[in-house]
C-alpha cells in the first residue's frame, strides 16, 4: 500500500493527528495536495487556520476546492454532503481578504491561471451588477501577482530565520503584507 493510499484510508482524526505533527512547510504541502473528497472541514479547516500558511498556499487550497461549483449558488441550495466543503472555502476566503495569510517573497501560486481567471470573472460580475459568494480582495492579492513587488526568496531568507510576533501581526497593515525591505529590491524604472 502506498503512502497516499494509507493517507486516504485514514479517519479524519488520524489525518489531523498526523498533520499536527508536521512542520509548517510539510503541512502546507499536504494541504495543497489534499483530496477534498475526504475530510476537508476537519482537516483542511484546521490546517488553513495555522500561522505559517502563506497566501500562495491559501490560494492553491482555495482553488483545489473547486469554488466555482458553489459561487453563484445560494447557501441553502448547497447539497448537504458538500456544506462542509463550502464552509472551508468561506473561511479561506475570509482569511485571504482579512490579510491573515502573508505573502512570501517571490512565491507564485501554482493556481496562478485560475486566480487570474477568477479575478477577471469577478470584475465582469461587478460591471454587470452580480456578486458571487466569494469575492477575493485584489489589493490583498496584488503583491503576490505583481512580479515587480517580489524579491527572490534568497534576498529575504534572513527574515524567515527571525520571525517576529509584531512583524507577523502588523505586516498586513504595513503595505498589505509586503515588507518595505522587500520593496527596496524593486528595480527602478528608467
Per-residue CA distances from 110 to 11, 57, 167 (Å): 28, 9, 26
The range of the structural domain enclosing residue 13 comes to 3-150
> What's residue 168's pLDDT?
62
In a domain, 182, yes or no: no
| pLDDT above 70: residue 65 | yes
The per-residue pLDDT for 70 is 93
Section 93-103 average pLDDT: 92
Is 138 contained in some domain? Answer: yes
Q: % helix / strand / coil in the chain, to the nearest 5?
A: 60, 0, 40
Domain assignment of residue 107, yes or no? yes
Q: What string of DSSP letters covers 16-77?
A: HHHHHTS-HHHHHHHHHT--TTS-IIIIIHHHTTSTT--HHHHHHHHHHT-GGGTTTS-GGG
The whole-number average pLDDT for the span 90-101 is 94
CB 44 within 8 A of CB 88: yes
Total domain count, the chain: 1
Whether 69 is covered by a domain: the verdict is yes
Task: Indicate whether 163 belongs to any domain.
Answer: no
- When the pLDDT of each residue in the chain is averaged and rounded to a whole number, the result is 81
Is 72 within 8 Å of 132 (Cβ atoms)?
yes
> Looking at the domain assignment, is residue 183 inside a domain?
no
Contact 144, 115 (CB under 8 A): no
In a domain, 115, yes or no: yes
Using alpha carbons only, give the angle 102, 49, 79 rounded to the nearest 5 degrees.
120
Domain presence at residue 9: yes
- Other Cβ atoms within 10 Å of 57 Cβ, number: 24
Q: How far is CA 168 from the centre of its chain?
A: 16
Please tell me whether residue 135 adopts helix, strand or coil conformation.
coil
Amino acid at each position: 500500500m502506498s503512502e497516499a493510499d494509507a493517507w486516504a484510508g485514514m479517519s479524519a482524526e488520524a489525518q489531523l493527528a498526523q498533520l499536527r505533527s508536521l512542520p509548517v512547510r510539510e503541512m502546507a504541502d499536504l494541504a495543497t495536495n489534499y483530496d477534498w473528497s475526504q475530510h476537508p472541514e476537519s482537516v483542511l479547516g484546521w490546517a488553513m487556520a495555522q500561522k505559517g500558511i502563506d497566501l500562495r498556499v491559501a490560494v492553491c487550497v482555495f482553488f483545489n476546492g473547486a469554488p466555482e461549483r458553489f459561487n453563484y449558488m445560494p447557501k441553502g441550495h448547497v447539497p448537504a454532503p458538500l456544506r462542509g466543503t463550502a464552509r472551508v472555502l468561506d473561511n479561506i476566503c475570509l482569511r485571504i481578504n482579512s490579510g491573515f495569510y502573508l505573502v512570501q517573497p517571490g512565491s507564485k501560486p501554482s493556481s496562478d491561471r485560475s486566480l487570474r481567471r477568477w479575478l477577471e470573472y469577478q470584475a465582469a460580475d461587478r460591471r454587470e451588477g452580480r456578486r458571487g459568494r466569494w469575492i477575493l480582495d485584489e489589493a490583498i492579492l496584488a503583491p503576490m501577482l505583481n512580479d515587480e513587488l517580489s524579491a527572490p526568496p534568497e534576498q529575504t531568507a534572513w527574515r524567515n530565520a527571525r520571525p517576529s510576533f509584531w512583524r507577523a501581526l502588523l505586516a498586513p497593515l504595513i503595505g498589505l503584507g509586503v515588507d518595505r525591505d522587500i520593496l527596496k529590491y524593486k528595480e527602478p524604472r528608467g
